[in-house]
Amino acid sequence: MLYFLPFTALAQFSDSTHYSVNYTTTGSINKTNDGDTYLLNNAAKFGIRKKTFNLNFSNSWVYGKQDRELTNNDFSSSLDFNLYSAIPHFFYWGLATYNTSRSLKINNQLLAGAGVAYSIYDRKNVYINVSDGVLFDSSDLLLENDVPDVYQTYRNSLRVVFKFTIREFITIDNSTFFQPSLKKWEDYNFRSNSALSFKVSKWLNLTTALNYNRISRTDRENLLLTYGLSFEKYF
């Protein structure tokens, strides 16, 4: 599942409006005499950026089968924004996300909240950011033996982001979230999304992605290693 990831330094943009579109398709296929396994991961993102704020709308879908049995049918849609302040490297963020996941046993999940963020290092080739805030979680889950669990809670949302660009050709990035409930810290969501990209042209990258998700309430996790193409255009 994909979530907002503000990569570019504020100083790199003028006060005019910039738009971006990104589409990533990755996957893996394993076919043997004993069975077939495949996994497809598709994501699309549209962004609007000005000097004082940015807005992103993202959608992702992971679909997979093993020996004709459905293992993944996971969808995520999110809308996020950043508001930049007069304080250097400091900004406010807001987020609303809807998730449904067969592999994590999430029937429906809505997360919405806001917080603050600080860029520890913000340069063209290196970006490191830490953010924290509060999210409202309204979820419909399936526990062990498919017992329904409908509940609401407030979560602390801690995020660490980094991005390294090597000679404008190789990009390594990671976004990691830890979201424990404010009522019970044993009830947490953990996500880590990493990618390694090689630029083929101005708008095309070869991408390898490693995504890990864990929902402690359902005691479910998934680890997705995929590879494919990423298309990105700024205008």
Least confident of 15-19, 133-137, 225-229: 15-19
Residue 2 confidence class, pLDDT cut points 50, 70, 90: very low
In a domain, 5, yes or no: no
For residue range 134-151, what is the model confidence (pLDDT) as tens digits? Answer: 999 999 999 988 899 999
Residues 160 and 173: their CA atoms lie apart, in Å, by 11
In a domain, 2, yes or no: no
**pLDDT > 60? residue 56:** yes
Which residue is it, tokens 């404010």?
A: 182
In a domain, 4, yes or no: no
**pLDDT > 80? residue 12:** no
**pLDDT > 70? residue 4:** no
Question: Residue 147: its pLDDT value, please?
Answer: 94
In a domain, 1, yes or no: no
Question: Residue 15: its pLDDT value, please?
Answer: 65
Mean pLDDT value of segment 157-167: 96
- Give the range of the structural domain holding residue 112, as residue numbers without chain letter: 10-234
How many CA atoms does the CB half-sphere of 137 hold within 13 Å?
A: 25
**pLDDT > 80? residue 121:** yes
Q: Report the CATH number at residue 96.
A: 2.40.160.40
In a domain, 195, yes or no: yes
Residue 35 confidence class, pLDDT cut points 50, 70, 90: confident
Mean pLDDT value of segment 30-55: 88
Question: Residue 8: its pLDDT value, please?
Answer: 37
Question: Residue 190: its pLDDT value, please?
Answer: 98
In sequence order, which residues have a C-beta less than 8 Å from that of residue 6 and are 6 or more positions away? 54, 82, 91, 93, 117, 129, 161
Q: What is the pTM of this model?
A: 0.87
Mean pLDDT value of segment 75-90: 94
In a domain, 169, yes or no: yes
**Mean pLDDT, the chain, integer:** 90
**pLDDT > 80? residue 106:** yes
- Split into its structural domains, the chain has a count of 1
Give, in order, the Cα–Cα distances in Å from 213 to each of 2, 16, 87, 94, 152.
11, 37, 34, 21, 20
In a domain, 154, yes or no: yes
